[in-house]
């Protein structure tokens, strides 16, 4: 019996570590970039971040049911379905690891949703009193201030590994260092280095096009306007338009 439990536990621990990497990558590359499926970017960057901004609007303090905090109902089944072949393959190579991995994946998602909900809808629940939750809540609040930092909501290991982790302390140190450099006259205006190869030029041009495309979408939806360039696009965007307007009215 112990020979079966130990690999299941170790499998669960490994999948939790992987969960941080998966959360970071999906959040950074799909929820903040207009890639297929576009629903991830639209639902998160264009809706969630536009409703729950920095300051008083970050938390939902009114009565009623807040919208656009939890992921879509099909998110968990989709994540499990995508990872099932990997779970079966690992279990074939290393027996007695399937259920530990499946429980870890499902548990990570449920705890993620639960914590994310209480970060935006504080109601004095017991979990909000724990120090680790307060740290994660501040960690996520900083993400709403700096979109390209603190991508992990539940387990910020990947933020630490990939250099996207920031804290109030690190921001204070950066500010103090900058002020000291300004006072000493050591800080100069940074200049952009000229691309040294065609590959770098193409890469920079591709990044610029993506930034321009993203900025256009953000401006369009944050002002609740839809450009009727085509009937097909109008029907798709009008649906999101209604969600944004409805959510905005609920907050007012």
Local structure of residue 186 (DSSP, 8 states) = -
What's the pLDDT at 208?
A: 66
Answer whether residue 98 shows pLDDT above 70: yes
What's the pLDDT at 1?
A: 54
Q: How confident is the model at residue 216 (pLDDT cuts 50, 70, 90)?
A: low
Interval 45-92: pLDDT, tens: 989 998 898 877 899 877 778 889 999 999 999 999 999 999 999 999
CA dist., res. 68 & res. 50, Å (int): 10
Task: Return the C-alpha torsion angle 182, 186, 192, 195, nearest 10.
Answer: -160
Buried b or exposed e, range 173-208, using 16+ CB within 10 angstroms: eeeeeeeeeeeeeeeeeeeeeeeeeeeeeeeeeeee
Calculate ∠ Cα 152-156-162, nearest 5°: 90
- 250, 64 contact by CB (below 8 A): yes
What's the pLDDT at 239?
A: 56
What's the pLDDT at 178?
A: 83
- 144's CB contacts (< 8 A; 6+ apart) are 49, 52, 53, 54, 58
Q: How confident is the model at residue 250 (pLDDT cuts 50, 70, 90)?
A: very low
Pull the structure tokens for residue 117. Answer: 């909900």
DSSP symbols for 100-165: HHHHHHHHHHHHHHHHHHHHHS----GGGGSHHHHHHHHHHHHHHHSTTS---SS-THHHHHHT--
What's the pLDDT at 70?
A: 92
Interval 228-239: pLDDT, tens: 344 444 444 555
Pull the structure tokens for residue 232. Answer: 């097909």
Query: Which secondary structure element, helix H or strand E, spans residue 175, and what is its range?
Result: helix 168-184
Local structure of residue 33 (DSSP, 8 states) = S
What pTM did the predictor assign?
Answer: 0.73
Task: Return the C-alpha torsion angle 205, 146, 224, 31, nearest 10.
Answer: 70
- All structural domains of the chain with their residue ranges: 2-186, 195-252
Number of neighbours of residue 46 by Cβ within 10 angstroms: 21
């Amino acid at each position: 019996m112990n020979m079966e439990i130990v690999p299941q536990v170790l499998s669960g621990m490994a999948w939790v570590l992987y969960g941080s990497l998966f959360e970071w990558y999906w959040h950074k590359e799909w929820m903040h970039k207009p890639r297929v499926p576009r629903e991830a970017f639209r639902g998160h960057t264009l809706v969630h971040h536009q409703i729950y901004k920095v300051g008083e609007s970050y938390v939902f303090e009114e009565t009623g049911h807040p919208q656009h905090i939890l992921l879509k109902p099909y998110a968990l089944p989709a994540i499990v379905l995508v990872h099932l072949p990997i779970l079966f393959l690992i279990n074939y190579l290393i027996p007695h690891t399937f259920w530990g991995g499946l429980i870890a994946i499902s548990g990570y998602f449920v705890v993620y949703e639960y914590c994310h909900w209480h970060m935006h809808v504080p109601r004095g629940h017991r979990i909000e009193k724990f120090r680790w939750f307060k740290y994660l809540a501040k960690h996520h609040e900083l993400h709403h201030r700096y979109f390209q930092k603190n991508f992990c909501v539940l387990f910020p290991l990947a933020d630490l590994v990939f250099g996207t982790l920031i804290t109030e302390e690190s921001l204070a140190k950066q500010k103090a260092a900058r002020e000291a450099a300004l006072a000493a006259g050591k800080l100069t205006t940074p200049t952009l280095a000229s691309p040294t190869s065609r590959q770098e030029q193409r890469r920079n041009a591709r990044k610029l096009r993506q930034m321009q495309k993203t900025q256009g979408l953000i401006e369009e939806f944050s002002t609740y306007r839809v450009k009727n360039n085509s009937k097909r696009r109008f029907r798709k965007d009008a649906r999101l338009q209604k969600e944004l307007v409805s959510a905005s009215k609920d907050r007012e």
